[in-house]
Amino acid sequence: MGYELLKALVMLLRGEGISAGEAYPGTGAPAVDGPQAAVGLLELDVPAGLAKFQVRVLSPRHLGGWGCQVWAARVSEVLGRAGMTCEMREMEYLDGLDCFCVTVLAQQRVLRGSDGSFSGVRMIT
């Protein structure tokens, strides 16, 4: 269920030219050699029909904090056009990864179809 939504969100970002991948709790962080988005599913509330995501936008130090903020704004714009409500958090510097990070929290209503599958993350055409 949630995996389908997570994968759809990653594909949405990739379709807009944003390097993105799934993020799962307890997995190691990737080497950050360019701007990228790590997408995680925070909550899937089936009765309420609500999915909440965390998108961590990572950008290497050599691009500066400004570069990270620009990419995070782009991620928020893409998600907003897909009908999601977004909140950008303050930028932080991650010493262990030697990169800047802006977390974007996003949520969207999802619908369960008659076949039990979920829909909600719309692809932009």
Render pLDDT for 8-23 as a digit per residue (tens, 0 to 9): 999 999 999 999 988 8
Locate the domains of the chain by residue range. Answer: 2-24+34-111
Render pLDDT for 100-119 as a digit per residue (tens, 0 to 9): 999 999 998 887 666 666 55
Task: Please give the model's pTM, rounded to 2 decimal places.
Answer: 0.84
Residue with the larger pLDDT of the pair 25 and 95:
95
Where on the phi/psi map is residue 26: left (φ > 0), alpha (ψ -120 to 50), or beta? left
Residue 3 is classified by DSSP as H
Which of 55, 2, 59, 69 lies closest to 32 in space, CA to CA? 59
What does residue 31 show for φ and ψ, rounded to 5 degrees? Answer: -70, 135
Class of domain 2-24+34-111: alpha beta
Average pLDDT for 73-77: 97
pLDDT band at 78 (very low <50, low <70, confident <90, very high): very high
